[in-house]
Amino acid sequence: TDASLENASTNLLKENSTVAHCNTLKAQKYECQISSIKLNHIYIMWLKITNGTILLQSPLMSIRPIDIVKPDPPLYLQVEMTDTGQIKISWSQPASKSNLLLYEVKCFTKSTKNFQQVAEITMGTSLTINNELLESSYIIQVRCKNHQELGLWSDWSSPFNMDLQDVMYFPSKLLASVGTKISF
């Protein structure tokens, strides 16, 4: 815990430490990037700031990157109709995926942009909903976060514009007898 780190000395930690130099973003705003970290490991960090002869040092902090790193949004949203007439929304995991993720789906009408939650959070990369819950035109988006309920939600995925009349259904099997006419 952070409390147990209060009395630790940075001298004991320097053997296995990595120095990351920070860049100025704006006046009094800096960014420090640490490469090759593992998101689920715990790291002990401290900041050391020097300005000429003045030295400032923060207390030790324990940080697990998965708790503070925002994942990329899910990719490649698709919508199809199942053989039972339900709407199946599917997507791909983000490229930066490293752990199990929770996904949240939101749908809202194109005309009013009123938000209507039509699904619970899921751990899978697809969700099937009853099309009675939907009007004719919707925008669908998905976001994700660490499955342990820690960390930040990703940004919402690119919007998928769905018109129910455009959703295609292709049956997995088609049974017909010889001479029967079939049309779609």
Give 38-53 pLDDT, tens digit per residue. 777 888 888 888 888 8
The dihedral over CA atoms of 121, 73, 66, 125, expressed in degrees to the nearest 10, equals: 40
Q: Could you state, in order of their start, the residue ranges of all structural domains in the chain? A: 2-67, 75-166
Are 126 and 117 contacting, i.e. CB atoms less than 8 angstroms apart?
Answer: no
The yes/no answer on whether domain 75-166 falls in CATH 1.10.3720.10 is no
Instruction: Give the tokens for residue 143.
Output: 């976001």
pLDDT-based confidence at residue 157 (cuts at 50, 70, 90): very high
Give 78-119 pLDDT, tens digit per residue. 988 888 878 888 999 988 766 678 899 988 777 665 656 556
Q: Distance between CA 113 and CA 107 in Å, rounded? A: 9
